[in-house]
């Protein structure tokens, strides 16, 4: 069963942000120069419906990246060195001047660690090789930074992530990861375990030590020592066939990669194994994870939502359960989300099916996902179901283990 819901507009989407109360912002290309500027799509109901945000009519380029500091204030960047800011939750956007003024240049990433401190990166060469700008006053002013002594194409940066105001990481054209510990003033190239000559498209740091990189030729890298060494994930899905453009992790174990062929790869054990999910898009460019859902965006005007991503392992991990247990969902009755927990005495492949009162399967809430031993939980979203009585059954290694009753009241 397809776990994603496709929501259409003309054009390509490149990045997405969402919160836990239903606000979703999607950025990408304008449908046409003669159309209403529609580079930003906005939803306030978790992606069920979308509207076009108010955007400067003379902005004809596309947006590559969005970062929201909070539910009201955020930034978006893209082609033609364009930078935009919102202060009303993405309902409207205004252009912001920066030191990036060269025509035809493409900005790849914007990220803030707090309301004042943020960076913008360029994926095309700049005069003086300054492909980074930084603000420490909320965007009132910006100053230029460089990626070490790199020049030309080696100074071009595809993506970046910061864990605090000092420690940050990026991936560049060479392709290699770089790290800063002084807020971007200096950068040091990091080691990868192999000799790779393709592209590194994305990086996501869980904390200062653990992070993941994705790239072309099916490449997935992981570090657990702050980038002293980036090792390849050996059991990556698809091997060399897909290019992975986006990567996001909820914690050190649960994460999603997205890329070509409409594929997403979900791991619940830090990349030891993956479950593939396919979408209707040709390419998924990026994604965002909330506690309740995951969103991917890409070509074919695609916006997809997955409500069945695991939320992680709970309780005391040092006390592995001695037997399987399926807990009653809470709250129950619920509207429209509820948490379902289950205990595994050993690692297993889990499927969970939801049935209506007539015994018809209505949702495949978990679809053959590997979980570690311990207590696990996920959030079930019944927003697309009618009020009524439902039953959820858990299947462990292809064996039905237990079924419980829950009530949806809208």
Question: Terminal CA-to-CA distance of the chain, rounded, Å?
Answer: 25
Assign residue 181 a region: left if phi > 0, alpha if psi is -120 to 50, beta otherwise?
alpha
Query: pLDDT of 103-138, one tens digit each?
Result: 889 999 999 999 999 999 999 999 899 999 999 999
Give the model's pLDDT for residue 293: 85
Burial class of 227 by CB neighbour count within 10 A (0 to 12, 13 to 18, 19+): buried
Containing 211, the helix (H) or strand (E) segment is: strand 211-215
Determine the Cα–Cα distance for residues 221 and 233; give it in Å rounded to an integer. 6
Query: pLDDT of 324-347, one tens digit each?
Result: 889 888 888 888 888 888 888 888
DSSP, collapsed to helix, strand or coil, labels residue 341 as strand
Give the model's pLDDT for residue 338: 86
* pLDDT at residue 360 greater than cutoff 60: yes
Give the model's pLDDT for residue 1: 32
The reply to whether 312-408 shares the fold of 13-307 is: no
Among 17-31, 98-112, 134-148, 264-278, the range scoring the smallest mean pLDDT is: 264-278
Kindly state the tokens that stand for 378.
Answer: 């996920």
Among 88-102, 167-181, 296-310, the range scoring the smallest mean pLDDT is: 296-310
**DSSP letter for each residue of 234-300:** TT-TTTTS--EEEEEESSSS-EEEEEBTTEEEEESSTTSS-EEEE-SSSBEEEEEE-SS-EEEEEST
User: Could you give the percent of the chain with pLDDT greater than 90?
Assistant: 63
Q: What does CATH list as the number for 312-408?
A: 2.60.40.1930
Give the model's pLDDT for residue 272: 87
Class of domain 13-307: mainly beta
Residue 134 CB partners (closer than 8 Å, separation 6+): 117, 118, 119, 142, 143, 145, 183, 184
Angle at 315 between CA 311 and CA 321, to 5 degrees: 105
* pLDDT at residue 313 greater than cutoff 70: no
Give the model's pLDDT for residue 240: 65
Binning pLDDT at 50, 70 and 90, where does residue 316 land? Answer: very low
Among 23-37, 117-131, 173-187, 303-317, the range scoring the smallest mean pLDDT is: 303-317
Phi, psi of 153 (to 5 degrees): -65, -25
Give the model's pLDDT for residue 336: 87
Query: Per DSSP, what are the bridge partners of residue 157?
Result: 172
Kindly state the tokens that stand for 371.
Answer: 């979980």
Q: Which whole number is the average pLDDT over 79-83?
A: 95
Angle at 77 between CA 71 and CA 79, to 5 degrees: 155
Residue 131 CB partners (closer than 8 Å, separation 6+): 121, 122, 123, 124, 125, 146, 147, 155, 156, 157
Query: pLDDT of 178-201, one tens digit each?
Result: 999 999 999 999 999 999 999 999
335 and 408 Cβ atoms separated by less than 8 Å: yes
Q: Which whole number is the average pLDDT over 368-397?
A: 88
Please give the mean pLDDT across all residues of the chain.
Answer: 89
* pLDDT at residue 312 greater than cutoff 60: no
Binning pLDDT at 50, 70 and 90, where does residue 6 land? Answer: very low
Assign residue 301 a region: left if phi > 0, alpha if psi is -120 to 50, beta otherwise?
left
169 and 211 Cβ atoms separated by less than 8 Å: yes
Domain map of the chain by residue range?
A: 13-307, 312-408
Q: Which whole number is the average pLDDT over 235-239?
A: 69
Among 88-102, 165-179, 293-307, the range scoring the smallest mean pLDDT is: 293-307
Considering 200-214, 230-244, 328-342, the range whose residues carry the highest mean pLDDT is 200-214
Determine the Cα–Cα distance for residues 241 and 99; give it in Å rounded to an integer. 39
Binning pLDDT at 50, 70 and 90, where does residue 25 land? Answer: very high
* pLDDT at residue 364 greater than cutoff 60: yes
Q: Which whole number is the average pLDDT over 151-171?
A: 96
Give the model's pLDDT for residue 34: 65
Give the model's pLDDT for residue 9: 61
* pLDDT at residue 319 greater than cutoff 90: no
Q: Which whole number is the average pLDDT over 6-35?
A: 83
């Amino acid at each position: 069963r397809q776990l994603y819901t496709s929501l259409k507009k003309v054009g390509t989407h490149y990045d997405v942000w969402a919160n836990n109360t239903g606000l979703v912002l999607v950025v990408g290309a304008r449908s046409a120069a003669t159309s209403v500027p529609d580079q930003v799509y906005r939803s306030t109901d978790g992606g069920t419906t979308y509207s076009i945000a108010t955007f400067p009519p003379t902005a004809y380029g596309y947006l590559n990246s969005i970062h929201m500091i909070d539910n009201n204030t955020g930034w978006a960047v893209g082609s033609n060195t364009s930078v935009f800011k919102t202060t009303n939750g993405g309902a409207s956007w205004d252009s912001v001047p920066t030191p990036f003024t060269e025509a035809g240049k493409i900005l790849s990433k914007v990220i803030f660690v707090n309301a004042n401190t943020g960076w913008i990166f360029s994926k095309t060469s700049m005069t003086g090789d300054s492909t980074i700008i930084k603000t420490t006053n909320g965007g009132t002013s910006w100053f230029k930074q460089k990626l070490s002594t790199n020049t030309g194409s080696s100074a071009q940066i595809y993506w970046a992530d910061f864990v605090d105001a000092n420690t940050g990481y990026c991936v560049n054209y060479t392709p290699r990861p770089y790290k800063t510990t002084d807020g971007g003033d200096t950068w040091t190239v990091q080691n990868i375990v192999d000799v790779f000559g393709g592209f590194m498209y994305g990086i996501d740091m869980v904390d200062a030590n653990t992070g993941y990189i994705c790239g072309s030729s099916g490449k997935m890298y992981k570090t657990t020592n702050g980038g002293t060494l980036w090792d390849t994930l050996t059991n990556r899905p698809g091997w060399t066939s897909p290019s992975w453009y986006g990567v996001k992790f909820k914690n050190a174990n649960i994460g999603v990669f997205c890329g070509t062929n409409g594929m997403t790869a979900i791991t619940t054990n830090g990349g030891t194994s993956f479950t593939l999910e396919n979408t209707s898009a040709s390419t998924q460019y990026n994604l965002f994870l909330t506690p309740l859902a995951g969103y991917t965006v890409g070509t074919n005007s695609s916006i997809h939502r997955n409500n069945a991503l695991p939320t992680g392992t709970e309780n005391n991990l040092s006390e592995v359960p001695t037997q399987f247990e399926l807990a009653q969902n809470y709250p129950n009755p619920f509207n429209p989300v509820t948490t379902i927990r289950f205990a595994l005495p050993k690692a297993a492949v889990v499927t969970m099916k939801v049935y209506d009162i007539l015994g018809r399967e209505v949702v495949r809430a978990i679809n053959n996902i590997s979980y570690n031993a311990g207590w696990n939980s996920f959030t079930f979203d019944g927003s697309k179901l009618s009020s009524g009585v439902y039953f959820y059954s858990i299947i462990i290694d292809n064996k039905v283990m237990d079924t419980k009753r829950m009530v949806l009241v809208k």
